[in-house]
């Protein structure tokens, strides 16, 4: 059974870069028609999709974050990562990694496996 686990700093200073990694266990990141996603939830607000990647390297990003986001995959480590540059307090949120088992060529938005989430606070 596939499991996901986020890791990375819980505190990031304003203007710096937020870096998180999601480790996939119980299955290969390279198998199947999966998109590997990053999603966040700001305090007191709803879910926001950040972007996703396939093992081949194909990426899709939220247009509102695209200029600051990079998602990459390391198939040898069975991990994928998120980099968000020039962070501000508005990037304070719980960050989740999740798997989308899409069979339609593009992500379907049906994330069936999620990590527990990691809280990232942007503060000096």
Q: Provide the binding-site residues for other proteins, judged by CB under 8 A.
A: 37, 39, 41, 46-49, 51-52, 60-63, 96, 98, 100, 104, 106-112, 114-117
- Of 18 and 52, which CB lies nearer to other proteins in the complex structure? 52
Backbone angles phi, psi at 6, to 5 degrees: -85, 150
- Of 41 and 68, which CB lies nearer to other proteins in the complex structure? 41
Q: Measured between alpha carbons, how far is 16 from 64 in angstroms, rounded to an integer?
A: 18
Residues 6+ apart with CB under 8 A from 60: 35, 51, 52, 53, 106, 107
Phi-psi region of 47 (alpha: psi -120 to 50; beta: other; left: phi over 0): beta
Q: CB of residue 107 vs other proteins: minimum separation in angstroms?
A: 6
- Of 16 and 70, which CB lies nearer to other proteins in the complex structure? 70
Q: CB of residue 16 vs other proteins: minimum separation in angstroms?
A: 25
Q: CB of residue 76 vs other proteins: minimum separation in angstroms?
A: 26
Q: CB of residue 56 vs other proteins: minimum separation in angstroms?
A: 17
């Amino acid at each position: 059974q596939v499991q996901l686990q986020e890791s990375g700093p819980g505190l990031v200073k304003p203007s710096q870069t937020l870096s998180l990694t999601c480790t996939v266990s119980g299955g290969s990141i390279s198998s199947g028609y999966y998109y590997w996603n990053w999603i966040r939830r700001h305090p007191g607000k709803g879910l926001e999709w950040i972007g996703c990647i396939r093992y081949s390297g194909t990426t899709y990003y939220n247009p509102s974050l695209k200029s600051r986001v990079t998602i990459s995959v390391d198939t040898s480590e069975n991990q994928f990562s998120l980099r968000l540059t020039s962070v501000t307090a508005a990037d304070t949120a719980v960050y989740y990694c999740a798997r989308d088992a899409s069979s339609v060529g593009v992500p379907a938005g049906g994330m069936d496996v999620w990590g527990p989430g990691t809280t990232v606070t942007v503060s000096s």
